[in-house]
Amino acid sequence: MASVNPPRGMRDFLPAEKARRERVLAVIRDRYRAHGFDEIETPVMEEYSRLHAGIGGDNEKLAYNVLKRGLDADAIRAAADDPAALTDLGLRYDLTVPLARFYASHRAELPAVFRAIQVAPVWRAERPQKGRYRQFMQADIDIMGDASPRAEAELIVATLDAVDALGLEGATVRINDRRVLDWMLDSFGFTPEERPSVLITIDKLDKIGPDGVIRELGERGATPHAVDEFYGFLHRPPLLEYDPYGERPIRSVLPEGAPDDVVSDLVAIGDAVSAARAGDLRIPLAFDPFLVRGMGYYTGTIFELAHPSVDYSLGGGGRYDGMIGRFLGQDVPAVGFSIGFERLVDLIGQSDENHERAVVLVHDRDVPLEELLALKAELTREGLRVRLDQRTKNLKALLERAAADGYTSFATVAGGTARGDLQIKQLA
């Protein structure tokens, strides 16, 4: 028998799971809109040349490309070694590249500082495994037109607010700046040419530890003197700092002579976030000088969302001031934060999902249809969600199915039952 499963790495969602996902998305949208962000929508496809312009990092290798229309077999064979000759469109692999194109297209119609929400699926030709899908949702907020640290602070505050509203209080944001990373690598003696491969290795620090990083840098043929300097830095005696976030703790974990303007920006972000969350005595920021974020388009601040219940990030983002200029011919400051929706939704508890009033009317077979629909209409006008189910021999199984689908109560209906006669009972 032919498979009836969805394509590998893609999923069907049953009604209860779909409802749960929509509830989470509704909270995210609500909190982001409360912070002044406006939702936009872009096409699921973009031009091939735009998706492969060298700004999407490794994601460009995972793009699904769309074959040009009208190509016959001979034309396909002739262009087999030239993907650009075979394809002119591709499915978006993130929401940042489409947003940059959107802003370049509509800048004249947008405010000087534009705050955007995007909640939509993206596609990547991943190798499917637990937590990795070929189609998944992203929930992004971005600010374009503001080069100041205020933009980063707004993104962080809005994201923490959304996560708190979902019941995941205690989240923190690890923060760094690509300018700090570049300066550190220069100070150690790594050349600009080897910087990308060095960053790939440094990004593994949490997984393979300092000695593993040093060993891999040697295997990659990195400048020996720079590797030695980096080794010495990694093995410095720890400095005791009592301030959770600020100029002193930031400078204490960097080599001497860190650029003042970058440190000032990081401190300003922390001050603004602390002021916005005055009721929270815990500072939700942590400076991490070895946070890398793999996307090549980041030009400044970078950050990741962390929660103590899991050992992986729940989202991230950063500043990408150079991207829009590739489409517009004029640089525009931009910074964004993307929630890892698929990871986040798995952490949201089931206990408080059934807030809506939802009732199943279990009716006898001989109840006239017009009576059922009239009763249903009356209940929906009261704000209830209503489903009609004909009584079966196994009433327990019917009610269990209704509860699994998110219904909170039920009532039995016989011929001639009026609204006042209904005895609505809670489902277990």
Contacts of 225 (CB under 8 A, 6+ apart): 189
Confidence class for position 240, pLDDT limits 50, 70, 90: low
* Separation CA 63–CA 52 (nearest Å): 9
Confidence class for position 354, pLDDT limits 50, 70, 90: very low
Pair of tokens at residue 67: 């074959």
* Separation CA 163–CA 168 (nearest Å): 6
Element at 122 (helix H, strand E): strand 114-123
More confident residue, 77 or 304: 304
Q: What's the average model confidence in pLDDT over 353-359?
A: 68
Please report, to the nearest 10 degrees, the dihedral formed by the alpha carbons of residues 312, 95, 133, 11 taken in order.
Answer: 130
AA identity, residue 332: V
Q: Which residue has the tokens 């406006």?
A: 38
pLDDT tens-digit series, residues 52-102: 887 777 788 889 998 888 777 877 777 777 777 788 899 999 999 999 999
Which of 79-88, 154-163, 262-271 is the least confident region? 79-88
pLDDT exceeds cutoff 50 at 313: yes
Bridge partners of residue 307, in order along the sequence: none
* Separation CA 400–CA 427 (nearest Å): 8
Looking at 134-226, which runs of residues are DSSP E strands? 135-144, 172-177
Q: What's the average model confidence in pLDDT over 120-133?
A: 87
* Contact criterion met (CB below 8 Å) for 141 and 336: yes
Bridge partners of residue 386, in order along the sequence: 359
Mean pLDDT over all residues of the chain? 88
Give the closest residue to 25 by CA, choosing from 350, 344, 352.
344
Using CA atoms, how far residue 360 sits from 15, 19, 200, 369, 424, in Å, is: 15, 17, 55, 16, 9
Confidence class for position 353, pLDDT limits 50, 70, 90: very low
Bridge partners of residue 120, in order along the sequence: 138
Q: Percent of the chain beyond pLDDT 90? A: 51
Confidence class for position 324, pLDDT limits 50, 70, 90: confident
pLDDT tens-digit series, residues 333-350: 999 999 989 988 888 865
CB-side neighbour CA atoms (13 Å) of 125: 10
**Residue 241: predicted pLDDT:** 54
**Residue 397: predicted pLDDT:** 93
pLDDT exceeds cutoff 70 at 282: no
pLDDT exceeds cutoff 90 at 1: no
Element at 369 (helix H, strand E): helix 369-381
* Contact criterion met (CB below 8 Å) for 153 and 276: yes
Pair of tokens at residue 407: 């219904």
pLDDT tens-digit series, residues 183-219: 999 999 999 888 888 888 888 888 898 889 899 998 8
Give the closest residue to 191 by CA, choosing from 220, 213, 232.
220
* Separation CA 132–CA 86 (nearest Å): 28
For 425, the 3-state DSSP assignment is strand
Return the top range by mean pLDDT from 35-39, 62-66, 231-235, 357-361.
Answer: 35-39
**Residue 351: predicted pLDDT:** 42
Using CA atoms, how far residue 274 sits from 150, 170, 249, 279, 287, in Å, is: 12, 14, 16, 9, 14
* Separation CA 187–CA 124 (nearest Å): 37
More confident residue, 416 or 152: 152
**Residue 86: predicted pLDDT:** 83
So what's the architecture of 15-44+92-347 in CATH?
2-Layer Sandwich (3.30)
Q: What is the pTM of this model?
A: 0.85
Confidence class for position 244, pLDDT limits 50, 70, 90: confident
Return the top range by mean pLDDT from 46-55, 103-112, 410-419.
Answer: 103-112
More confident residue, 2 or 167: 167
* Separation CA 260–CA 20 (nearest Å): 46
CB count in 10 Å sphere of residue 236 = 9
- Quote the Cα angle for 81-64-42, to 5°: 130
Q: Per CATH, which fold does 358-426 belong to?
A: Rossmann fold (3.40.50)
- For 53, counting Cβ atoms within 10 Å of its Cβ (0-12 exposed, 13-18 middle, 19+ buried), the class is middle
* Separation CA 305–CA 139 (nearest Å): 13
Confidence class for position 279, pLDDT limits 50, 70, 90: low
**Residue 47: predicted pLDDT:** 93
Q: So where are the chain's domains?
A: 15-44+92-347, 358-426
* Separation CA 201–CA 217 (nearest Å): 7
Residue spans of alpha helices (H) in 35-177: 48-51, 73-78, 83-86, 96-106, 149-165
- For 106, counting Cβ atoms within 10 Å of its Cβ (0-12 exposed, 13-18 middle, 19+ buried), the class is exposed
